[in-house]
Structure 1
């Protein structure tokens, strides 16, 4: 095991939905900002195996040990030492808007040119698009989830009872079509909150009513009141992906600029 080279702190902003791979099982990509305003990416995170006291959410502040990952040259990336992770608090609700607004950028192209692989962008004219997954794709995802979870449940060190992680994939893709100064874009949301919200509401209200409620919240309320997208590039190629969807009222960035001057 690689030795820990450093210990840092960060405010968590991004928890992508869990994905089950053929080689390494169930993993989560997480990201946040340190207290110097620098982005950090924590991957891979085997979230289900964390102790309950370590299972952080958005806005939690954490301390963690890390080393440089192999094969990932994005300078924000950190290989997390799971046992070292400690939740130290949570960013106060009254401080969250200003904290986010200081880091919103206008151009993803410019961020990429400067070698950055994580960014916050405010979408314009955002439209939520809901697509049912291809049946074969969904069946394959379900089989991977079922196989991995059965394996863990039957092992001596299985993680039974830790139900904070979804046990099934969403049957729908939630996408945004939107504009930035770079032009029109479209991307699939990989945000944990969106998938978890769908699965929770589906159990409570059924599929049709859940889709209506999802559209109302993420397709009407969020664009009306204001939100930002937490973007990240893929390790293998410089393509921006939607890793997080975070409410942020319209105009907060302008208020921050006025305070500075």
Structure 2
């Protein structure tokens, strides 16, 4: 089994799923970008609920020891054998400089046979489906997301489901897409909203306000990934850099 080391800046932390091998543990997936501007899917990075949360955040630089996974044929996927947080977060402007050259469309990603990508959406509409306003603790919520991903949308429901209707900016062949958002950090925002609001209409309004304010202040990009079992596209994370001028070239963090 060939092992390799990579330094990866974290773009997306997927919502933890209950580990099939460790009954008391959870596993986390990461989408990261290396210094060559390559997107990689890293899994699993494990932790035990109740023994501290995951020891890294978005933009943190990880040194990971990886190999090819046994059952995941997606070429961007890597099985994580170990990881170390280098305690040297990459600045947003540096992340942005790595990410922007990757911006493409879902149509092009399909032609390339890719399972990860970045798109800049032209938002057409937002669908918010409130299935439950019951407050969940982190572990319960993680397990719900795991069921949703494993069983599919028809047989499992998240408390709040958010789908974007959008076109891929700059892609004439793109009519429109309707795709669910599974960003962990945003799901934490939804959990906090549900703690304060019990009426579905109020929850929807708060979420709409959140996105309205976000798009006024920041640029919005989707980090896209395909479902392991079904191959369908999901919005795995949001990349939201500040709206600013030119970015100075500086990749000293790598």
TM-score in terms of structure 2 length? 0.74
Looking at structure 1, the residues matched to 86 and 194 of structure 2 have their Cα atoms a distance apart, in angstroms, of 30
Looking at structure 1, the residues matched to 59 and 219 of structure 2 have their Cα atoms a distance apart, in angstroms, of 18
Aligned counterpart, 1:186: 178
Flag structure 1 segments of 5+ consecutive residues without an equivalent. Answer: 149-168, 257-261
Aligned counterpart, 1:100: 99
Any idea what the Cα deviations from partners look like across 1:42-100, whole Å, max 9, x if unmatched?
12332447985961111111001111101111111011114x43334101134343333
Structure 2 matches for 1:11-160, cutoff 5 A? 11-20=9-18, 26-48=26-48, 55-82=55-82, 84-105=83-104, 107-133=105-131, 142=140, 145=143
CA positional deviation for 1:212: 2.9
Question: Could you tell me which of 194, 197, 200 is aligned with 1:206?
Answer: 197
CA positional deviation for 1:221: 2.3
Aligned counterpart, 1:171: 159
Looking at structure 1, the residues matched to 175 and 85 of structure 2 have their Cα atoms a distance apart, in angstroms, of 41
Looking at structure 1, the residues matched to 140 and 52 of structure 2 have their Cα atoms a distance apart, in angstroms, of 25
TM-score in terms of structure 1 length? 0.72
C-alpha RMSD over aligned residues: 3.4
Report the structure, 1 or 2, having the larger helix content: 1
Flag structure 2 segments of 5+ consecutive residues without an equivalent. Answer: 147-156, 248-254
Say whether the 8 Å CA contact 1:22–1:144 is kept in structure 2. no
Say whether the 8 Å CA contact 2:17–2:142 is kept in structure 1. no
Looking at structure 2, the residues matched to 133 and 187 of structure 1 have their Cα atoms a distance apart, in angstroms, of 17
